[in-house]
Structure 1
Amino acid sequence: MATECSISPAFDIVALAASAGGLNALSCILSSLPADFPARIVVVQHMSGQHRSFLAEILNRCTPLRVKQAEEGEQVIPGTVYVAAPDRHLLVNLDSTVSLTQTEKVHSVRPSAEILFKSVAEKYQKRALAVILTGANMDGSKGVEAIKKMGGKVIAQDESTSQVFGMPAAAIDTGCVDWILPLDKIADAIKNLVMGGQI
């Protein structure tokens, strides 16, 4: 009989993107994921590039998972949450290492969900799960199209629980979102999808 730890996850990576209201949304989701969560987690939160970010430290206090600011060239591994550095786009390369770039801003932001989602789609294809959370502007809408084109799945936060519905609404308008969920249902959906392949 297979034990829980021997079950292969249905998704290898979960990519989350947020802007306004994102700290609360990310805290809510990550606090509900178990320490032995078997997938990699990468996070883009829009932030000012003028100051040091304490996002990783704040999120570390609310989740049993290890949370760290991503570093150039490091390998992304399951059970760890990698957050984008201020004023750097975060990409996951084909060898599962991280790249941090200062290439042009996308939708006037850096880091951008578009850049992260497109890199995750290319590397992980149908084993990628993207989650687009509360935030302004359209960041992530082209990225979710890339995720779907490569066979991955997309969750968007619903309007009633979003502080700002711009990012989820733009993603939903693409027709590439598989599930529109209230914030308090997203963590369970991620767990069920990663562990069992369905909600």
Structure 2
Amino acid sequence: MNAWNAILMGCSAGGLTALQHVLAELDPDIPQPILVCCHTGSADVALLCELLARHSRLPVEEARERAPVRGGVVHVAPSGYHLLVEPTLRFALSVDDKVAYSRPSIDVMFESATDAFQGHLVAVLMTGANADGAEGLAYVRRHHGYAVVQDPASAEASAMPQAGLDIAGADACVPLNAIAGTLNRLCLP
């Protein structure tokens, strides 16, 4: 058994395409829960879930208040709420102030999940037009999680992965087409 209990993914501008690419290549036997925070600007995340499900070999669903975090499922943060993971490994939703101009915030999700999973997770920061996720990625790394950052040169919007590298560094900095393979190597039993 590997040491990673969860996979986290954060993205913004260009995120739909990036997530579709990664989820299409993830092995369907990945046992970890996958938590996704993508800034969409939409009031409803149902369409994002539907578009991701068309490409994913794992089930995709919107994370809901008090629902359990389930392995082998892609859980997507709902629009307008911060997604938190409680110590009981259930989701909590918050309407606290925006962080890095965002709600849901990648930083909030990364930090909450790191605490809940006691650092045993892999966090992925991909394309995006702001710095949300960089501080959360640093938090993941300080708590012995593994940080994967999309090579900014392969990102539709390079600001987010570049901020991640500048603030947190990375255990792996790879182009978009290598992220799924990296996760498969790290996370398959």
Please give the TM-score of this superposition, normalised by the length of structure 2: 0.95
Measure, in 2, the Cα distance between the counterparts of 1:175 and 1:90: 21
Distance in 1, matches of 2:61 and 2:128, equals 22
Unaligned runs of 5+ in 1: 1-7
Verify: 1:163 aligned to 2:152, yes or no: no
CA drift at 1:49: 4.6
Can you give the 5+ residue segments of structure 2 that lack an aligned partner in the other structure? none
Q: Hey, what does 1:4 align to over in structure 2?
A: none
Deviations 1:28-71 (A, max 9, x none): 11111122211110000002253554111111111110000111
Equivalent residue in structure 1 for 2:68, among 75, 79, 82: 75
Work out whether residues 53 and 86 of structure 1, in 8 Å CA contact, stay in contact via their aligned partners in 2: no
Equivalent runs, 1:33-112 vs 2, <5 Å: 33-51=26-44, 53-112=46-105
Structure 2 residue aligned with 1:134: 127
Distance 2:94 2:141 in 1: 24
> Which has the larger displacement, 88-97 or 13-22?
88-97
**Counterpart code for 2:111:** K
Task: State the partner residue of 1:3.
Answer: none
Report the secondary structure of 1:54's partner residue.
helix
Q: Are the counterparts in 2 of residues 125 and 147 from structure 1 also a CA contact under 8 Å? A: no
Percent of matched pairs sharing the same residue: 33
What stretches of structure 1 move > 4 A for 4+ residues in a row?
A: none
Provide Cα deviations, 1:77-102, integer angstroms capped at 9, x if missing partner.
11000001111111111111001111
Aligned length: 189
Alignment RMSD (CA, Å): 1.3
Matched residue of 1:57: which SS?
helix
Q: Partner amino acid for 2:130?
A: N
